[in-house]
Amino acid sequence: MQLKELTTYLDTYLQIAEFADNSQNGLQVQGREEIHRIGAAVDACQESIDAAAANIDFLIVHHGLFWEKPEKLVGPHYQRVKKLIESGVNLYGAHLPLDAHAEVGNNAVLARRLGFAPTAGFGKHHGREIGCIAETAAPISPAEFLRRLREALGNEVRADFFGTNSIQRLALVSGGGAFLLPHAIAAGVDAFITGEPSHSRYHFCKEHRFNVVYGGHYATETFGVIALAQHLAAKFNLPYEFLDFPTGL
Residue 84, pLDDT score: 98
Low-confidence stretches of the chain (pLDDT < 70) are none
Residue type (1 letter), 57: D
The CATH H-level superfamily of 99-217 is NIF3 (NGG1p interacting factor 3)-like (3.40.1390.30)
Equal fold, 3-95+222-241 vs 99-217: yes
Give the pLDDT confidence of 103-157 residue by residue, as tens digits: 999 999 999 999 999 999 999 999 999 999 999 999 999 999 999 999 999 999 9
* Average of per-residue pLDDT values in the chain: 97
Q: Which residues of 230-249 are buried (b: 16+ CB within 10 A; e: fewer)?
A: ebbeeeeebebbebeeeeee
- The answer for residues whose C-beta is within 8 angstroms of residue 166's C-beta and 6 or more apart is 139, 140, 141, 190
Residue 69, pLDDT score: 86
Residue 70, pLDDT score: 85
Q: Which of 240, 238, 161 is nearest to 2 (CA)?
A: 238
Predicted TM-score (pTM) of the model is: 0.96
Q: CATH for 3-95+222-241?
A: 3.40.1390.30
| Domain map (residue ranges) of the chain | 3-95+222-241, 99-217
Alpha-carbon distances, residue 60 vs 104, 175, 196 (angstroms) = 13, 17, 23
Alpha-carbon distances, residue 181 vs 22, 73, 158, 205 (angstroms) = 21, 37, 15, 8
Let me know: does 84 contact 49? Beta carbons within 8 Å. Answer: yes
Q: What is the largest CA-CA distance in the chain?
A: 56
d(CA 177, CA 125): 10
